[in-house]
Structure 1
Amino acid sequence: MADPSTCLPLTRDSVAAARVLIKPFVHRTPVVTSSSLSALASSPSAASDLTEEGKRKANPKLRLWFKCENLQKIGAFKARGAFHAIERLKREPGWLAGGGAERGVVTHSSGNHAQALSLAARTNGIPAYIVMPTISAPPKIAATKGYGANVVFSGSTSVEREAVTAKVIEETGARLVPPYDHPDIILGQGTLGLEFQEQVEASIAEENEKNGKTDTGKKRKGLDAIIAPCGGGGMLSGLALSCENTGIRVFGSEPLFQGADDAKRGYESGVRVEAVSTLTIADGLRTPVGHIPWSVIYERRLVAGFYSVSESEIKRALKLVYERLKLVVEPSSVVPLAVALYNEDFRALVEREAGEEGWDLGIVFSGGNVSLDALGKLFAEEES
């Protein structure tokens, strides 16, 4: 990757510039709504109106909007950052003419970033070397190879992956493209936020026109808040940049299982958690927040807070998406929806701050790369 000191500043304008660069290579993914899910989110979150402590459950008014990055190329938002990273490299003086492109790019990833970088490299005729743990899911290995990458296997720990990556760089001269901890990746991922804002604004404007609303009186204009999953933080920090100075609040969401809520714990303590070891079903969120995303999320306070949910709540939200929206999403994608439906702290915040008007809440479906076998096992476990 380019030296971070030579990259564009981490601002909303830079996200807009990234959007111009990657426009020919990525989809403008759709935004969908669901009256039934909005109704569920606008009701107490269980049969009882009381919490386990005997307190009244929150009853916010929420209108949910879903940004479908599960329908993005390679099935996840990661394509945005990977294509932006390649486009920035192509503009680095001497990289194309000096043989840098011929030496290729390298990363270590067992999931969506592996596939995204492989596709971006193939599109540009550049070699890609992907270091994948031997325990990676066979479908993900096959998909990465299918995009033309040279897959190199490693052990499962971060130390082992990084050692093999360093060896590949030494042998090939390939340029490292990290999954999330780099400005070019963050700015690329943030482009989904600009699209999301525009799409919802256009839908609400059309709705206002149909309802005959005028400039007199209260009119909804767009999103009040967006909640997104957080793993390494590349997408969440990019999303936060896209919303800077717009009045739209951005929240992060994580699984609670086995300490997977590292960003939440770090945000609340003021110290970034640098290591995570968890087997949450939201496998895309098992990564600690990177240094550069943290600078946006916490140090600049562009994320308003974090909320976490249980494995059971993630499964319930996943089932609802399949039943009500008929969309293929992975468990990581539904963590923000689970927060909107089941996290009492978040729901109480909305009720308190939004009142009777409620919030137009954006939810990012980050990806849809999950096998049918894995889904079957998840739902079977929930029913047993």
Structure 2
Amino acid sequence: MTSINSEISLPDIHEVEAARQRLRPYGIVTPLLRSPVLDELTGATVLVKAENLQRTGSFKFRGAFNRLSLIPEADRPGGVVACSSGNHAQGVAAAARLLGMRATIVMPSDAPELKRARTVALGARVVLYDRQTENREQIAQGLAKETGATFIHPYNDPQVIAGQGTVGLEIADQAKNQGLKLETMVVCTGGGGLASGVALALSDRASDCRFHTAEPAGFDDYARSLRAGHILKNDKMGGSVCDAVLTPMPGEVGFEILKNRACEGAVVSDEEALKAVAFAFHELKLVIEPGGAVALAAVLFDRVPVSGRVVALTLSGGNIDPAMMALAIGS
């Protein structure tokens, strides 16, 4: 692990590899899929990493399990506290259950009902907050202090990022096994845990690969921050169907990793994200949520130049309410 300053440390490739070993008995090596329809539409060779098929329905289980596994035995009776709109919530709840720990999750009151119900079903206690007027991290940190629990940040944590980086290791191995050399990578991006983890892994395994973040319009803090060279905030906290990738600003750890590795970020509309959800349903036979579809939307709607290239993209989550799926299919 490398230090940026006295406050922040960055994970390295060895920690990503160690996370892969910890996850091996519990996580799923998700497939890297091909679609002739997608190749024809884009003029590219497109590799689709289906993290919607991961345990709990998103990549978040990887980072959560890796981070919780590293909590010292003496601290485990205090349990864990996390804040999430739903995917990190389920990942932490599932990891805590496997490791015999209590979990409390701070979730927005407008989180999809499916995500909330599944978090509770995994044994976690849910505390609701107002996304527009309250600060979820302050609430979660306060609960952790009161109860002696360990706070698990959804993305601004080196070992969470190391866990998410295992997605990148798998993509590199799977592409190589298909006889393909990765040229472009597009990753669904909120706070940057997945994006920075994948970028870290590919910097080691596919150093020539061009890396792009993908975000919904109005919540393109990574795209703007990468252009500016420093962290910028979003103007609002809610109002997009892509709830899984709505964060106030990039995490410091992830931004430090990505600022010298990522190309310009791609930005898609809510309508394009919903069309990507529908495309995945009809053509790929996969269920994904809008936030997990922004990388696919970026490729489908030419927000990233991919023609003639070998491009990989993440489908980062599939926890979608039936009503949202109906909206997407009818869009």
| Superposed displacement of residue 151, structure 1 | 1.8
| Superposed displacement of residue 194, structure 1 | 0.4
User: Which residue pairs with 1:53 in the alignment?
Assistant: none
Alignment of 1:1-384 (within 5 A): 9-42=10-43, 62-89=44-71, 95-96=72-73, 98=74, 100-157=75-132, 159-204=134-179, 221-245=180-204, 246=206, 247-256=208-217, 259-277=218-236, 278-287=238-247, 288-298=249-259, 301-343=260-302, 346-347=304-305, 350=306, 358-380=308-330, 382=331
SS at 2:106's partner residue? Answer: strand
User: Which residue pairs with 1:355 in the alignment?
Assistant: none
CA distance in 2, matches of 1:7, 1:23: 28
SS at 1:65's partner residue? Answer: strand
- 8 Å Cα contact 2:112-2:320 kept in structure 1: no
CA 1:7–1:280 in structure 2 vs 1: closer, same or farther (change >3 Å)?
Answer: closer
| Superposed displacement of residue 38, structure 1 | 0.6
What is the identity, as a one-letter code, of the residue corresponding to 1:129?
A: T
| Superposed displacement of residue 293, structure 1 | 0.6
CA distance in 1, matches of 2:135, 2:224: 27
- 8 Å Cα contact 1:250-1:302 kept in structure 2: yes
CA 1:138–1:342 in structure 2 vs 1: closer, same or farther (change >3 Å)?
Answer: closer
CA distance in 2, matches of 1:131, 1:329: 23
- 8 Å Cα contact 1:253-1:335 kept in structure 2: yes
| Superposed displacement of residue 9, structure 1 | 4.8
CA 1:9–1:37 in structure 2 vs 1: closer, same or farther (change >3 Å)?
Answer: same
| Superposed displacement of residue 157, structure 1 | 4.3
- 8 Å Cα contact 2:183-2:209 kept in structure 1: yes
Indicate the RMSD between aligned Cα atoms, in angstroms. Answer: 2.1
- Listed one character per residue, the Cα deviations across residues 117-157 of structure 1 (whole Å, up to 9, x for unaligned) are 00000101011111223333322221111001122233334
> Percent identity between the aligned chains?
33
- 8 Å Cα contact 2:80-2:150 kept in structure 1: yes
- 8 Å Cα contact 2:277-2:328 kept in structure 1: no
| Superposed displacement of residue 8, structure 1 | 7.9
- 8 Å Cα contact 1:11-1:241 kept in structure 2: yes
| Superposed displacement of residue 323, structure 1 | 1.1
CA distance in 2, matches of 1:8, 1:253: 25
| Superposed displacement of residue 289, structure 1 | 1.3
CA 1:240–1:276 in structure 2 vs 1: closer, same or farther (change >3 Å)?
Answer: farther
TM-score (normalised: structure 2): 0.92
- 8 Å Cα contact 2:277-2:287 kept in structure 1: no
What is the identity, as a one-letter code, of the residue corresponding to 2:255?
A: W
- 8 Å Cα contact 1:276-1:286 kept in structure 2: no
CA distance in 2, matches of 1:185, 1:23: 16
How many matched pairs?
324
